[in-house]
Amino acid sequence: MFHGITSDSPNRPDAAPGKRWLRAPSKLARILMLAGSFSLALLQPTVSVAAIANSTAEQLSILQIEDHYQALYPHKQLIEQQYQRYPRQVAQIFHLLKQHHLPAELALIPMMESSFNPQAVSPAGAGGLWQLMPATAQRFGLTVNDQTDERFDLARSTEAAVRYLAFLYQKFDRNLPLILAAYNAGEGRVQRTLAKQPDTPFSALELPQETLSYVHKFYALKDLLSLASLAEHSPAAESIRPLNARQKQQLAALFARREIIDMSPIAPLIAL
């Protein structure tokens, strides 16, 4: 992981006198780092993004991940503070992921979905920290009716979301990009795409652009944050100041997503 430096940026529209802002590391340097051990020839302009994607361990586009990383980096501290506001819930998330033998980085999904806002509601009706649709929430054990909506219960919604992720983890053979795509676009859509395009690299799948962007942004966020720090060093929620209006707008813009969930066909709930 590259660590950035701070610099005064008076030309930023949200800059304040004397305020120091995070500046992202060199884009080229980070692309070289992400490229890892495969040939630097792949980074030549004559080579397609698809060729680069085919050469990565996760079959993702390094260039797309890096574009998201550069956009997120100036807001790193704000993103970390959102996790620090809910230390008990963050601890529960990591505990449940470990209990279900799921990757710890799935703890980043609430930031992707709701900017870690337990009261978030989307125009399409997804709600809560994990932005569960009513049918999905009910499918995995939550009560959603006119009197009670457990999607906004931090503990209960997290239990349901992790059960859903465990289901997707098995359904898509532990393939993390496909799991993320299914969480975003719906498992039915991902299944149909895989049936039409077997043995196709992820970045070449005919999935909505919003879904491809969602997955690449997840990997950028994973690279930006220290999961160990989030899990072990969360300060008391009382020590974190509430978000002001500008910060809420920043997070909403960074993690805005369109509702494209297509849950059909939905398989019966299985025991996990």
Could you list the active site residues? 113
Q: How far apart are CA 241 and CA 231, in angstroms?
A: 20
Classify the phi-psi angles of 173: left when phi > 0, otherwise alpha if psi is within -120 to 50, otherwise beta. Answer: left
DSSP 263: -
Q: How far apart are CA 98 and CA 94, in angstroms?
A: 6
Q: How far apart are CA 214 and CA 227, in angstroms?
A: 19
- Contact criterion met (CB below 8 Å) for 182 and 265: no
Which residue is it, tokens 């809420």?
248
- Contact criterion met (CB below 8 Å) for 61 and 53: yes
Among 180, 30, 48, which residue's Cα sits nearest to residue 103? 180
* H-state helical runs in 186-262: 187-196, 209-224, 227-232, 245-254
